[in-house]
């Protein structure tokens, strides 16, 4: 099921339901009005002015009726006969209404009650009436609410029923349309990413589904890369663990020779071999600890340092490293006497890793020097390192800053692909970058930059 199917918007869906509801309400009102009119036409329901018209028809007879004929009073009314002194003689008025009827005779206000006062020879006939529709049947009129109240009640009941039906209809539609969305969310939560995305007929939901599908693809790629990285990490850990066996075997063999030797010279030589292999084991263990980390993380501990002091430590450590490999470090320095905010250990580690990488590539040629240029200008600390070795391979140009990448098939010189990666991550932590390329002749150039704050 794809996005080519017909789609609608939430606005149109809601509008459609509102139109259906509106037509339902109009139909309901029209039906009740028609039924009400049928009741009036068949005289099942008496109109609101029925009492007034009936009284007006009988007004003359009521005035002269002797003895008084109560059948002249409409069934929808109550009445009272009063003498000329306003004394109540007969009728079916209750006590409160009698007092109001007396006021009506004197044309006084009766607080919303309607009275018709008809003079008689010996007094008055006061008729109380209402201007409301009534049932013609006395039984219905007695036990049921007025027809207009029943009509209003029916309108409300049917309206509420229509609301419920429409809400249920929208609910069922949305539940059906949300099913693909909920399914995708559930599968992504469970990391079950091999599935085809189904789509809704609602445009807004499809937009969410498209975004979730993109998220699924990105998550799948991320999990795949994470798995590949984990497999690579495990492979390197296994390799390092295996390599540790070699110096241990050598140490064990030399220890056994020491037990068998009686002369001091061979013993000293064997002891020297053991010490050398202990150093190698220490380096392997350090690499093993690096390899077991789930990922390389940067934590900056900045401090204010004069730039001269900062550079002296980097250059001293770099010179010591070059000396151990029988090489010279040629330096160029350009800066002003300023104080900067940096993490000495972190930046030194990044630069030393690059220099170490340059030394390792220089061993493939007869190169005897490494050139390093240090500059600080307008908040940017930049280091350019130039070697005269074999340079980067095409594969290394693409992958040199990736964790664990190495173009060496053998694990000599403890090269496990962490140096350039660590340098790159430190540069990123300082909003800088690392670039590298091969020279036109021999060797390569690596430039690393850091944005550091000037505290002068």
Assess whether 438 and 319 both reside in one domain: yes
Q: d(Cα 133, Cα 141) in Å, to the nearest integer?
A: 10
Instruction: Give me the pLDDT at residue 1, please.
Output: 45
Let me know whether 423 and 319 are in one domain: yes
Would the pLDDT of 87 be above 70? yes
- By CB atoms closer than 10 A (0-12, 13-18, 19+), residue 269 is middle
- 118, β-bridge pairs: 125
Region 86-105 average pLDDT:
90
Q: Considering only residues 416 and 283, tell me which one the structure prediction assigns the higher pLDDT.
A: 283
What is the predicted pLDDT for the residue at 8?
78
11 pLDDT band, cuts 50/70/90, is: confident
Q: Between 288 and 439, whose confidence is greater?
A: 439
Q: What is the mean pLDDT of residues 389-406?
A: 72
Distance CA 93, CA 147 (A): 24
- 312 and 365 together in one domain: yes
Q: Which domain holds residue 277?
A: 226-292
* Domain boundary, last residue among 292, 316, 335: 292
Identify whether residues 378 and 309 lie together within a single domain: yes
Assess whether 262 and 386 both reside in one domain.
Answer: no
Q: How many domains does the chain divide into?
A: 3
Statement to judge: residues 321 and 266 lie in one domain: no
pLDDT of residue 415: 47
Same domain, 321 and 396: yes
**How confident is the model over 113-137, as pLDDT tens digits?**
889 999 998 899 999 998 888 888 8
Same domain, 426 and 317: yes
Residue 56 lies in a domain: yes
pLDDT (tens digit per residue) in 294-348: 455 566 888 999 999 999 989 988 887 788 778 899 999 998 888 999 998 889 8
pLDDT band at 431 (very low <50, low <70, confident <90, very high): very high
283 inside domain: yes
The residue out of 245, 261, 292 marking a domain boundary is 292
Length of the chain: 456
Residue 145 lies in a domain: no
Number of alpha carbons in the 13 Å side-chain half-sphere of residue 281: 14
Span 129-151, average pLDDT: 87
Please choose, from the candidates 89, 87, 124, the residue with its C-alpha nearest in 3D space to the C-alpha of residue 105: 124
Whether residue 448 is found in the same domain as residue 318: yes
Rounded CA-CA distance 172/455 in Å is: 65
Asked which of 26-35, 391-400, 439-448 is least confident by mean pLDDT, the reply is: 391-400
Tell whether 277 and 307 lie within a shared domain. no
- Sign (positive or negative) of CA dihedral 308, 313, 315, 319: positive
Strands ordered across the beta sheet of 114-120? 88-91, 78-83, 123-129, 114-120
Residue 413 clears pLDDT 60, i.e. is over it: no
For range 153-182, the mean pLDDT: 86
Q: Give the pLDDT of residue 250.
A: 57
Residue 326 falls inside a structural domain: yes
Q: What is the mean pLDDT of the chain?
A: 80
Please list the residues that pair with 304 across neighbouring strands. 341
Last residue of a domain, one of 100, 131, 162: 131
CATH number at residue 255: 1.10.287.130
Rounded Cα–Cα distance for residues 431 and 417 (Å): 22
CATH number at residue 110: 3.30.450
- Residue 26 confidence (pLDDT): 92
Is the confidence at residue 404, as pLDDT, over 90?
Answer: no
- 233 and 342 in a single domain? The answer is no
pLDDT at 409: 45
- Residue 391 or residue 264, greater confidence: 391
- pLDDT tens digit sequence for 269-285: 666 666 666 766 666 67
Q: In three state form, how does the secondary structure of the chain look?
A: CCCCCCCECHHHHHHHHHHHHHHHHHHHHHHHHHHHHHHHHCCCEECCCHHHHHHHHHHHHHHHCCCCCHHHCCCCCEEEEEECCCCEEEECCCHHHHHHHHHHHCCCCCCCCEEEEEEECCEEEEEEECCCCEECCHHHHHHCCCHHHHHHHHHHHHHHHHHHHHHHHHHHHHHHHHHHHHHHHHHHHCCCCCCCCCCCCEHHHHHHHHHHHHHHHHHHHHHHHHHHHHHHHHHHHHHHHHHHHHHHHHHHHHHHHHHHCCCHHHHHHHHHHHHHHHHHHHHHHHHHHHHHCCCCCCCCCCEEEEHHHHHHHHHHHHHHHHHHCCCEEEEEEECCCCEEEECHHHHHHHHHHHHHHHHHHHCCCCCCEEEEEEEEECCEEEEEEECCCCCCCHHHHHHCCCCCCCCCCCCHHHCCCCHHHHHHHHHHHCCCCEEEEECCCCCEEEEEEEECEECC
- Tell whether 172 is covered by a domain: no
Same domain, 367 and 394: yes
* Number of CB atoms found within 10 A of residue 356's CB: 21
Q: How many CA atoms lie within 13 A of 130 on its CB side?
A: 9
């Amino acid at each position: 099921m794809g996005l080519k199917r017909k789609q609608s918007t939430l606005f149109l869906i809601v509008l459609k339901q509102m139109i259906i509801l509106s037509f339902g309400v109009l139909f309901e009102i029209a039906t009740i009005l028609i039924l009400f009119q049928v009741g009036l036409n068949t005289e099942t329901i008496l109109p609101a002015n029925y009492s007034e018209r009936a009284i007006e028809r009988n007004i003359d007879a009521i005035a002269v009726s002797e003895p008084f004929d109560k059948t002249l009073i409409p069934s929808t009314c109550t009445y009272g006969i009063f003498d000329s002194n306003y004394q109540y003689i007969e009728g079916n008025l209750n006590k409160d209404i009698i007092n109001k009827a007396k006021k009506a005779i004197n044309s006084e206000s009766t607080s919303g009650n309607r009275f018709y006062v008809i003079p008689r020879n010996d007094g008055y006939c006061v008729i109380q009436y209402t201007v409301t529709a009534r049932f013609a049947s006395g039984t219905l009129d007695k036990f049921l609410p007025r027809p207009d109240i029943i009509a209003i009640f029916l309108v409300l009941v049917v309206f509420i029923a229509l609301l419920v039906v429409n809400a249920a209809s929208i609910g069922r539609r949305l539940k059906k349309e949300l099913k693909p969305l909920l399914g995708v969310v559930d599968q992504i939560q469970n990391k079950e990413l091999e599935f085809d995305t189904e789509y809704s007929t609602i445009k807004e939901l499809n937009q969410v589904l498209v975004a979730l599908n993109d998220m699924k693809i990105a998550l799948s790629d991320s999990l795949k890369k994470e798995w590949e990285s984990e497999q690579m990490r495990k492979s390197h850990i296994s390799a390092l663990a295996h390599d540790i066996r070699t110096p241990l075997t050598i140490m064990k063999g030399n220890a056994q020779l020491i037990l068998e030797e009686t002369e001091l010279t061979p013993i000293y030589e064997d002891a020297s071999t053991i010490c050398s292999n202990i150093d190698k084991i220490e380096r392997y263990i350090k690499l093993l600890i690096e390899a077991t980390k789930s990922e390389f993380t940067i934590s900056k501990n900045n401090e204010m340092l004069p730039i001269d002091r900062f550079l002296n430590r980097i250059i001293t450590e770099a010179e010591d490293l070059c000396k151990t490999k029988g090489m010279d470090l040629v330096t160029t320095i350009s800066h002003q006497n300023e104080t900067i905010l940096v993490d000495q250990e972190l930046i030194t580690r990044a630069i030393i890793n690059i220099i170490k990488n340059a030394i390792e590539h220089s061993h493939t040629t007869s190169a005897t020097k490494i050139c390093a240029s240090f500059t600080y200008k307008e908040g940017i600390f930049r280091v350019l390192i130039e070697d005269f070795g074999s340079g980067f391979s095409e594969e290394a140009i693409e992958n040199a800053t990736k964790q664990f990448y190495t173009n060496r098939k053998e694990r000599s010189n403890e090269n496990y692909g962490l140096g350039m990666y660590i340098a790159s991550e430190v540069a990123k932590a300082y909003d800088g970058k690392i670039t590298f390329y091969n020279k036109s002749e021999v060797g390569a150039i690596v430039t690393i930059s850091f944005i550091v704050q000037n505290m002068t």
